[in-house]
Structure 1
Amino acid sequence: MRPTYLTENSIGEFIARALAEDIGDGDHSSLAAIPADAQNQARLLIKGDGILAGVELATYIFKAVDPELQVEILLQDGAQVKYGDIGLTVKGKAQSILTAERLVLNCMQRMSGIATYTNSLQQLIAGTGAKLLDTRKTTPNFRMMEKWAVVIGGGHNHRFGLYDMVMLKDNHVDYAGGIREAITATQRYLQEKGKNLHIEVETRNLQEVREVLETGGIQRIMLDNMAPDMMREAVKMIAGRYEVEASGGITEKTIRAVAACGVDYISVGALTHSMKSLDISLKAYK
């Protein structure tokens, strides 16, 4: 099921901004070199192994550039792909294909890289019960597509932005004067504003976990940069009273051990800030 943040309007607005950035007052290369009535076709060539993402978005982009372009999808979002596979074909006005090309590739290469890395980490924690989450460590104005790619890769989305969940991180706690002060001030604020938002609190040690438990009134406790022994002790202390999320420097080498500590969620910023794009190209053919 498509995430709720992906609406016809949100996708359309993203594409409009991206095309305006790229085209400006015209794709002069195509306008100059290609006859206006020239018809052609191209296919999306996969040049690496991974998980394909951005196919549905590509169809929106092609149609936004030229509603008469004909797109045939050969591989769906989430498909396992290998070098030499063809993801889709597009036929129609040659100028339109060339104008849409770079935006389609920029989106699909990055989204496929994110989906591929997400899938690889998800496989590492399979069977543990822990869910893999993304973070807000995303590219400005491209967050929607990056989070979509995480879902395509088998992961789950954390909060979308600052507005749909309260996360009291270390700086919030320090500025507020402590765990209890930060939580109680937040509870008061939400009540005054009439907002029904979940509260998550970041903890750095067992004492902070204890303070959260003593204060209560939250939904999730984050265990940040804790060693496995401390994490297991924290999970034991929490004893199912609240959701538990592990975060902080988690890699392919450590994620399985983290999941084995009994946490409900594992958030990994690297899903969207340190992945490698999948090599994809759009090539004309006869």
Structure 2
Amino acid sequence: MIDPEILRRAVRAALEEDLGPGDITSQAVVGEAARGRGRIVARESLVVAGLPAAREAFRQVDPGLAFDEAAAEGERRGAGEPIAFVSGAARSILAAERTALNFLQRMSGIATAVRRLVDRVGESGLQVADTRKTAPGLRAFDKYAVRVGGGTNHRSGLHDAVLIKDNHWRLAGGVAAAVSRARQAMADRGPGAGRRARIEVEVGTIADLEEALEAGADAILLDNMDATTLERAVTRARGRAFLEVSGGVGEDDLQRLAALGIDRVSIGSLTHSVRAADIALELEAA
């Protein structure tokens, strides 16, 4: 789930951005006493994600609105099938509509894309993961949607795990020096370091890979390697470290990577260029 306080703050900010001092159109043309009944419906095949955010949007605008889910998070819905129902003051429904749909459409789009890749992977054991390339301020929502779709979260932030990228080890004086410094820093934190005690290193060449393995890296991120170099890298590293691939990974590459013995693929496009799912709210007078 999404932390309740993060959920409330993000929805509040989204509503303030959209509503400003008020919905002048609805105030002008919809009677104050008008009641409405809305049906939130999928307009294409999708995996539902974002219902908690949609519910919160309607609640913050008007606690008197009734919001009833017609699907569960992670459930598939086909075109024309209902996702949720909302009823109450018509002005309130209209005021919250776009914010609720924005969350639902983005999050369902992410979950749908992830589910498609997870289905391609099947029972191979290859993890499909996200990255930190998320919408500013919405990382918790993007990563939650990835989980709903059946994917795996990478780091939630720079605070969460050690990943030594090329810029890090260049500044540190090389891969080995960077790994050594990181290992010492984690040791200084004591047993409470937890997941952060694992050291992952990004490499792009066989030479960098060998240095990372010799330095004792726990995980290796094989970044933007061509097919031939990647196969050589896996041959050298399999069984010696957790192996992750990132950069230029498409849907058609997944089965090949799984067959190579890769443990995880991280795909930035799952969140940085997601296509929003087509979802609408159909409203009628009650």
Q: Normalising by structure 2, what TM-score?
A: 0.92
Verify the 8 A CA contact 1:228 1:258 in the aligned structure 2.
Answer: no
State the alpha-carbon separation in 2 of the partners of residues 92 and 83 from structure 1. 25
Does 2:40 match 1:44? yes
Q: 1:204 maps to which residue?
A: 204
Which amino acid is 2:273 matched to?
A: S
After TM superposition, the structure 1 = structure 2 runs for residues 73-222 of structure 1, keeping only pairs within 5 Å, are 73-192=69-188, 196=193, 197=196, 198-216=198-216, 218-222=217-221
Structure 2 unmatched runs, 5+: none
What is the aligned-residue RMSD (CA, Å)? 1.7
State the alpha-carbon separation in 1 of the partners of residues 25 and 176 from structure 2. 61
Q: CA deviation at 1:31?
A: 2.5
3-state DSSP of counterpart to 2:84: strand
Verify the 8 A CA contact 2:11 2:53 in the aligned structure 1.
Answer: no
3-state DSSP of counterpart to 1:260: helix
Q: Normalising by structure 1, what TM-score?
A: 0.92
State the alpha-carbon separation in 2 of the partners of residues 71 and 141 from structure 1. 25
3-state DSSP of counterpart to 1:44: strand
State the alpha-carbon separation in 1 of the partners of residues 10 and 239 from structure 2. 40
Of 230-239 and 38-47, deviating more is 230-239
3-state DSSP of counterpart to 2:67: strand
State the alpha-carbon separation in 1 of the partners of residues 88 and 260 from structure 2. 54
CA distances 1:135-182 after superposition (whole Å, capped 9, x unpaired):
011111121111111111111111111111111111212222210121
After TM superposition, the structure 1 = structure 2 runs for residues 9-20 of structure 1, keeping only pairs within 5 Å, are 9-20=5-16
State the alpha-carbon separation in 2 of the partners of residues 171 and 188 from structure 1. 19
Verify the 8 A CA contact 1:122 1:132 in the aligned structure 2.
Answer: yes
- What is the aligned-residue identity percentage? 38
Which amino acid is 1:253 matched to?
A: D
Q: 1:234 maps to which residue?
A: 233
Verify the 8 A CA contact 1:231 1:261 in the aligned structure 2.
Answer: no
State the alpha-carbon separation in 2 of the partners of residues 123 and 66 from structure 1. 39
Does 2:24 match 1:28? yes
State the alpha-carbon separation in 2 of the partners of residues 261 and 37 from structure 1. 64
Which amino acid is 2:208 matched to?
A: E
State the alpha-carbon separation in 2 of the partners of residues 116 and 213 from structure 1. 36
State the alpha-carbon separation in 1 of the partners of residues 224 and 37 from structure 2. 51
Q: CA deviation at 1:16?
A: 1.4
State the alpha-carbon separation in 2 of the partners of residues 45 and 222 from structure 1. 40
3-state DSSP of counterpart to 1:158: coil
Of 41-50 and 234-243, deviating more is 234-243
CA distances 1:83-138 after superposition (whole Å, capped 9, x unpaired):
11111110011111011100111111111111111111111111211110000111
Does 2:56 match 1:60? yes
Which amino acid is 2:42 matched to?
A: I
State the alpha-carbon separation in 1 of the partners of residues 81 and 260 from structure 2. 39
